[in-house]
């Protein structure tokens, strides 16, 4: 009788321990925050940040910027990048790097609507000019598409990048790191864009 009693007590103890372990495991799993998707460093693909997020991130780095205007500007990047299967997060980060968050200050001036230093080499070759912001953004996206694809991949929108055919003949880049010594002579070019993308990731995570 005592032996049976001992077995029954042991069974209930083991059952209680097993139940407690399962409960704690289930509760802890439910308590963990969902893992945030990471911003890709690939040139092609879909970006993660919305126009609101891009605009807010930009304004944190350039306090003089108008958020309403920046939201519309960011939407150009999202729309144009989506049409050509280019990562809008990467393109926007590259714009931030190339223009110093639209402060410019080198060869390119705001009126040029040139957001990626397209054709800017020296005082005699200051870069390409585009009529509007959207056309300037489109040229930027198309130039990235020229680097990230082969010649058999056609553009969806009308060609506005006057230097579009040149990368297809001599250049190819799958991600931001391959742009170093390729898009730009700076060996740290990809790392600098990566730094901005990491800041964008931290910003996006902090908003969730």
Helix (H, G, I), strand (E, B) or coil at 87: coil
Task: Say yes or no to pLDDT of 71 above 70.
Answer: yes
Q: How far apart are CA 68 and CA 79, in angstroms?
A: 17
Please return the burial class of 48, using the count of CB atoms within 10 Å of its CB with bins 0-12, 13-18 and 19+.
middle
- More confident position, 167 or 33: 167
Q: What is the pLDDT of residue 33?
A: 53
* Averaged pLDDT, 98-122: 91
* Plot region of 101 (φ>0 → left; ψ -120 to 50 → alpha; else → beta): left
**Cα angle: 161, vertex 130, 82; to 5 degrees:** 55
Tell me the pLDDT band of 2, cut-offs 50, 70 and 90: very low
Q: What is the pLDDT of residue 170?
A: 77
Q: Which of 27-36, 74-83, 122-131, 190-199 has the lowest mean pLDDT?
A: 27-36
Q: What is the pLDDT of residue 66?
A: 97
Task: Say yes or no to pLDDT of 78 above 50.
Answer: yes
- Of 25, 53, 91, 51, the C-alpha closest to 208 is 53
Q: What is the pLDDT of residue 185?
A: 92
Across 102-126, b (16+ Cβ under 10 Å) vs e yields bebeebbeeebbbbbbbbbeeeeeb
- More confident position, 127 or 49: 49
* Averaged pLDDT, 42-54: 97
Q: What is the pLDDT of residue 32?
A: 46
Strand residue runs (E) in the chain: none
């Amino acid at each position: 009788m005592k032996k049976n009693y001992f077995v029954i007590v042991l069974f209930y103890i083991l059952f209680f321990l097993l139940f407690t372990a399962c409960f704690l495991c289930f509760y802890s799993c439910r308590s963990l925050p969902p893992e945030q998707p990471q911003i890709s460093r690939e040139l092609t693909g879909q970006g993660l940040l919305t126009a609101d997020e891009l605009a807010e991130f930009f304004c944190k780095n350039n306090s003089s910027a108008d958020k309403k205007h920046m939201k519309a500007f960011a939407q150009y990047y999202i729309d144009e990048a989506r049409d050509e299967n280019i990562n809008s997060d990467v393109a926007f980060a590259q714009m931030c790097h190339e223009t110093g968050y639209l402060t410019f200050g080198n060869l390119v001036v705001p009126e040029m609507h040139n957001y990626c230093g397209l054709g800017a080499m020296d005082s005699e070759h200051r870069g390409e000019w585009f009529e509007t912001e959207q056309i300037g953004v489109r040229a930027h996206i198309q130039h990235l598409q020229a680097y990230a694809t082969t010649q058999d991949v056609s553009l969806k929108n009308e060609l506005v990048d006057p230097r579009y055919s040149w990368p297809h003949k001599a250049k190819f880049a799958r991600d931001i790191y391959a742009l170093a010594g390729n898009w730009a002579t700076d060996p740290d070019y990809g790392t600098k864009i990566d730094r901005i993308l990491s800041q964008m990731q931290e910003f996006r995570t902090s908003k969730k």
